[in-house]
């Protein structure tokens, strides 16, 4: 299942983040390249998020890097507090990887990264924007990524719903007897 | 949220001061302002910016973000006493728009029997009005709220006018239920919704965010902010974060002179008015009257009957849910499209029972993913396992008025202004319990008809309130037996009017807000004449 920038925009539409970014993309897919540059999220933070997404997304997901970059960029544009939260949490994760494995997070193999997140108890922690490292990573990194994925029609379809809650997917889908084919 | 430094000083003496900007107060304010009167509206809570609704949706879906509408805290402190806790802070919103900010938006007319329970069945109380008196106002109210509906309900009271908007077509799972209900002799029909099926009144059509309760980012779900905007466009002044502390009457004890309110900087102001309309919801209406006790009215304002706060009623939830061997396609939208009033008007059970076919049964993949303690393929697999085959049938059950269910003041606890908080005493009588059991029987039968594996049943022990606060300043013709007259004016004070479901003598089992709106239209007409 291939994730696209368009999917990221669909997920963004649910959050109200960076409507402008989304609109440009929907109007003209060609302009998609502009987004990451506009977004003001440091490259290394984006790379960290992509690496975590590879772990928390199902194996069937491809195109993760573009999807995550577009989503996160849109998400934090016009929201300095969220941007700071995301960037700090990513930096802390990367620092942990360097600490524990003497390696930047992006160079860990997925199994090791998965284990690191679990050892940090990110899987079992309540998301908390003001909490300790596991709570903040859960909130700003893992849940942000899962939200982008499962609130978008593509992620939803994988589960069996093309209009997941939080997505303004029109009022037709609730009447259909089965999932619409990809459209 | 709106500017904390806004001008909150009182206007010169107004024609009408409306206390509370939920639907009850906002409709009265809009109509009076449009009729040319000087209107001031005071609301305890803040204004919420429409531009923030998508952020709020995000906050709602993502665990770890605090409540959307600022419910709770010292401002909203309360106490409960008696056999059942009452979760008051889940049941109301203080803010411009009132509880409609958070509500679901199902809006039905009461049935004819609801107005005459005592004379027909010897229980509860009669209203001093009947359905025919309210019928034209129901039609107005449907236009005010932009109700999407269809005239397909064989049990509904008679109507002549079409609904302003077409009904939402039934959901896929409604069709599954309709089949089962038909074989059980239970006809199903559409639900009137205060939600735009087409653009209406300057607001968008529903786009299916699915999060109606607690927030609709598209503006398709009615909130009383629409009437607040209309009132302001017609010249009304709306002051937010201005909780009224007490009402002050003249020396003769015949008229209210002013509403004394506090502002965020701690100052108290006095808004003088020729008429005061109390529209703070079924709990705070009582508290304000009790807080306004004076030498002439030691038991509280408008309380010479001693009934202010008594006969508190809500609707009780009954429901059952499970899974079937078919795709149910739940959680696309956050509202219902089909219900069944077949059990409503009979005598077995006597309390009214309304069945609702839920479109949001079972977990949504989005929220489940955010709460899960796993990720990757394992998460996907568990989401697939949980989503897709859930169904649930809910319902509301009538509670008859009982003088012992009541709102009083808990003088040992105070709010952020040092006022005693409301204390809610709520219990569920035998007849209501039996009716909940009867509702459960039917709900289970419907699910069994579908060969469902039943996962849960909410019966009389687990039931909870539907957050419809009714009955605490009841309406009647006899001043010894009621607090307001049929025109919603208090028996005791010449210029004090009460809007909202606190005036309902009985509450039926229909969600109350359409009736609140109808009474507000009627009240505004009468008050316009009086002014
Ligand atoms: C979760 C939920 C779902 C619901 N779903 C439905 C539904 O589907 N259908 C239906 O018909 N009804 C529903 N309701 C009920 C509906 O919201 C209420 O019936 C309706 O909002 C009541 O209107 P009101 O104007 O009387 O009071 P409210 O809407 O409660 O407004 C009262 C206002 O008064 C203000 N206030 C309180 N005290 C003071 C004071 N001292 N000074 C100044 N202002 C004050 C408050 O800030 C508030 O804005 C639901 C309610 C909830 C909570
Ligand atoms: S489904 Fe509910 S939240 Fe979504 S647009 Fe319609 S009314 Fe609003």
Neighbours of B439 (CB within 10 A): 31
Residue A176 resides in a domain: no
CB B404 within 8 A of CB B83: no
Question: Quick one: pLDDT band at residue B458, thresholds 50, 70, 90?
Answer: very high
CB of residue B215 inside a 6 A radius of ligand 2: no
Residue A106 resides in a domain: yes
Residue A140 resides in a domain: yes
> In a 3-state reduction of DSSP, which class is residue A141?
helix
CA atoms within 13 A on the CB side of B212: 26
Instruction: Give the pLDDT mean for B179-207.
Output: 95
pLDDT for B479 equals: 98
Question: Quick one: pLDDT band at residue A32, thresholds 50, 70, 90?
Answer: very low
Identify the helix (H) or strand (E) that includes residue B290. helix B281-291
Residue A28 resides in a domain: no
For all residues of chain A together, what is the average pLDDT?
Answer: 84
Residue B260, φ and ψ in degrees, nearest 5: -95, 120
Question: Quick one: pLDDT band at residue A167, thresholds 50, 70, 90?
Answer: confident
CB A125 within 8 A of CB A134: yes
Residue B425, φ and ψ in degrees, nearest 5: -115, 120
The CA distance from B197 to B204, in Å, is 9
pLDDT tens by residue, B87-123: 999 999 999 999 999 999 999 999 999 999 999 999 9
> How many Å lie between the centroid of ligand 1 and the Cα of residue B98?
5
Instruction: Give the pLDDT mean for B351-368.
Output: 95
Instruction: Give the pLDDT mean for B421-448.
Output: 97
Distances (CA, A) of B305 to B308, B422, B474: 8, 20, 11
- From the list A120, A114, A136, A121, the residue with the least C-alpha distance to A53 is A114
A147: nearest CB among B54, B62, B373: B62
CB B44 within 8 A of CB B242: yes
The CA distance from B44 to B20, in Å, is 7
How many secondary structure helices (H) and strands (E) does chain A include? 10, 0
Residue A45 resides in a domain: yes
Q: What is the dihedral of CA B485, B487, B493, B496, to 10 degrees?
A: 140
Q: What is the dihedral of CA B513, B519, B524, B527, to 10 degrees?
A: -140
CB of residue B54 inside a 6 A radius of ligand 2: no
Identify the helix (H) or strand (E) that includes residue B439. helix B430-449
Residue with tokens 């807080």: B291
The CA distance from B167 to B346, in Å, is 26
- The structural domain count of chain A equals 1
Structural domains in chain B plus CATH codes: 11-147+213-313+402-426+470-530 (3.50.50.60), 153-191+316-397+429-462 (3.30.410)
pLDDT for A76 equals: 85
> Has residue B272 got a pLDDT over 60?
yes
Token digits for B341?
Answer: 């009033």
| Residues B345-348: contacts with CB under 8 Å, at least 24 apart | B345/B111, B345/B113, B345/B155, B347/B121, B348/B438
Q: Could you please report the per-residue DSSP string of A141-176?
A: IIHHHHHHHHTSHHHHHHHT-SS-TTS---SSGGG-
Residues 49-68 on A with a CB inside 8 Å of B are 55-60
List B19's β-bridge partners, or say none.
B42, B278
Token digits for B93?
Answer: 């919103």
Which stretches of B465-515 are assigned E, i.e. beta strand?
Answer: 496-498
What residues contact residue B502 under an 8 Å CB cut-off, 6+ apart?
A: B281, B282, B285, B286, B469, B470, B471, B472, B473, B474
The CA distance from A174 to B198, in Å, is 17
CA angle, B289 then B290 then B291, to 5°: 90
Residue A26 resides in a domain: no
Token digits for A164?
Answer: 């997941």
Taking the Cβ of residue A183 and every Cβ of chain B, the question of whether any pair is shorter than 8 Å is answered with: no
**How is residue B238 annotated by DSSP?**
E
In testing the pocket of ligand 2, which one of B209, B214, B223 has its CB within 8 Å of the most ligand atoms?
A: B209
Please name the residue whose Cα sits nearest to atom 4 of ligand 2: B209
CB contact under 8 A, A150 and B365: yes
pLDDT for B244 equals: 98
What residues contact residue A181 under an 8 Å CB cut-off, 6+ apart?
A: none
Instruction: Give the pLDDT mean for B251-257.
Output: 96
Instruction: Give the pLDDT mean for A66-70.
Output: 92
CB A32 within 8 A of CB A5: yes
Q: Which residues of B touch A74 (CB under 8 A)?
A: none
pLDDT for B59 equals: 85
Pairing state of beta strands B189-190 and B338-340? antiparallel
The CA distance from A119 to A129, in Å, is 20
In testing the pocket of ligand 1, which one of B44, B281, B314, B356 has its CB within 8 Å of the most ligand atoms?
A: B281
Neighbours of B477 (CB within 10 A): 11
**Domain hosting residue A153, numbered range:** 5-13+41-159
> Has residue A28 got a pLDDT over 90?
no
Residue A32 resides in a domain: no
Question: Quick one: pLDDT band at residue A22, thresholds 50, 70, 90?
Answer: very low
State CA B445 to chain mean position distance: 30
This model of the complex carries an ipTM of 0.89
pLDDT tens by residue, B281-293: 999 999 999 999 9
The CA distance from B479 to B81, in Å, is 28
Distances (CA, A) of B356 to B181, B185, B202, B337, B463: 12, 16, 29, 9, 15
Q: Is the peptide bond before A92 cis (omega within 30 degrees of 0)?
A: no
Pairing state of beta strands B268-278 and B496-498? parallel
Residue A139 resides in a domain: yes
> Has residue A23 got a pLDDT over 80?
no
CB–CB contacts below 8 A, A to B: 154
Token digits for B400?
Answer: 């008859």
Q: Is the dihedral of CA B136, B141, B142, B146 positive or negative?
A: positive
> How many Å lie between the centroid of ligand 1 and the Cα of residue B95?
9
């Amino acid at each position: 299942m291939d994730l696209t920038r368009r999917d990221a925009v669909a997920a963004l539409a649910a959050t109200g983040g960076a409507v402008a970014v989304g609109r440009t993309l929907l109007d003209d897919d060609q302009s998609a390249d502009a987004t990451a540059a506009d977004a003001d999220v440091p490259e290394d933070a984006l790379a960290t998020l992509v690496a975590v997404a590879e772990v928390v997304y199902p194996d069937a997901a491809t195109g993760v890097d573009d999807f995550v970059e577009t989503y996160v960029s849109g998400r934090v544009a016009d929201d300095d507090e969220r941007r700071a939260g995301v960037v700090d949490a990513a930096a802390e994760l990367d620092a942990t990887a360097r600490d524990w494995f003497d390696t930047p997070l992006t160079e860990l193999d997925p199994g090791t990264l998965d284990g690191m997140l679990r050892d940090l108890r990110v899987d079992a922690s309540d998301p908390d924007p003001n909490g300790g490292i596991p709570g903040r990573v859960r909130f700003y990194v893992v849940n942000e990524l899962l939200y982008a994925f499962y609130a978008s029609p593509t992620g939803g379809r994988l589960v069996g719903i093309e209009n997941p809650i939080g997505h303004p997917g029109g009022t037709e889908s609730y009447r259909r007897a089965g999932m619409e084919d990809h459209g | 949220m709106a500017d904390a430094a806004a001008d909150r000083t009182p206007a010169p003496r107004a024609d009408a001061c409306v206390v509370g900007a939920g639907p009850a107060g906002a409709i009265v304010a809009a109509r009076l302002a449009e009729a040319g009167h000087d209107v001031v509206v005071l609301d305890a809570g803040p204004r919420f910016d429409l531009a923030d609704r998508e952020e709020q949706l995000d906050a709602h879906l993502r665990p770890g973000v605090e409540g959307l509408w600022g419910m709770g805290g010292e401002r909203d402190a309360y106490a409960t006493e008696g056999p059942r806790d009452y979760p008051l802070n889940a049941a109301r919103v203080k803010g411009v728009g009132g509880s409609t900010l958070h509500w679901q938006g199902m809006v039905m007319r009461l049935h004819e029997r609801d107005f005459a329970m005592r004379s027909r069945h010897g229980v509860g109380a009669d209203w001093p009005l009947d359905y025919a008196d309210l019928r034209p106002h129901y039609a107005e109210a449907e236009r005010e709220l932009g109700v999407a509906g269809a005239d397909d309900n064989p049990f509904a009271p008679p109507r002549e006018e079409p609904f302003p908007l077409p009904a939402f077509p039934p959901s896929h799972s409604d069709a599954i239920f309709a089949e089962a209900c038909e074989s059980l002799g239970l006809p199903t029909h559409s639900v009137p919704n205060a939600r735009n099926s087409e653009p209406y009144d300057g607001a968008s059509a529903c786009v299916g965010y699915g999060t109606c309760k607690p927030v609709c980012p598209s503006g398709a779900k009615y909130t009383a902010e629409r009437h607040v905007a209309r009132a302001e466009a017609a010249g009304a002044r709306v002051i937010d974060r201005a909780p009224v502390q007490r009402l002050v009457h003249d020396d003769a004890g015949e008229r209210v002179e002013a509403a004394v309110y506090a502002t965020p900087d701690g100052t108290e102001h006095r808004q003088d008015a020729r008429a005061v309309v109390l529209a703070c919801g079924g709990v705070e209406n009582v508290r304000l009257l009790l807080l306004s006790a004076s030498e002439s009215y030691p038991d509280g304002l408008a309380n010479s009957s001693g009934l202010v706060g008594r006969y508190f009623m809500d609707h009780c939830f009954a429901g059952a849910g499970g899974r079937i061997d078919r795709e149910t396609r739940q959680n696309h939208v956050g509202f219902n499209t089909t219900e069944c009033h077949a059990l409503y008007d009979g005598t077995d059970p006597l309390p009214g029972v309304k069945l609702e076919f839920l479109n949001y049964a079972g977990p949504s993949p989005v929220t489940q993913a955010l709460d899960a303690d796993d990720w990757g393929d394992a998460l996907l697999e568990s989401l697939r396992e949980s989503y897709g085959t859930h169904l649930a049938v809910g319902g509301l059950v009538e509670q008859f008025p009982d003088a012992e269910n009541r709102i009083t003041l808990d003088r040992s606890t105070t709010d952020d202004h040092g006022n005693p908080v409301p204390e809610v005493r709520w219990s569920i009588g035998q007849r209501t319990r039996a009716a909940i059991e009867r509702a459960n029987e039917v709900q289970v039968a419907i699910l069994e008809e579908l060969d469902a594996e039943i996962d849960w049943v909410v019966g009389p022990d687990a039931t909870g309130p539907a957050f419809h606060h009714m009955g605490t300043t009841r309406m009647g013709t006899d001043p010894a037996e009621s607090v307001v007259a049929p025109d919603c004016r208090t028996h005791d004070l010449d210029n004090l009017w009460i809007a909202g479901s606190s005036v309902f003598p009985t509450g039926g089992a229909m969600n109350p807000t359409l009736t609140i709106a109808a009474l507000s239209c009627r009240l505004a007409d009468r008050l316009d004449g009086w002014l």
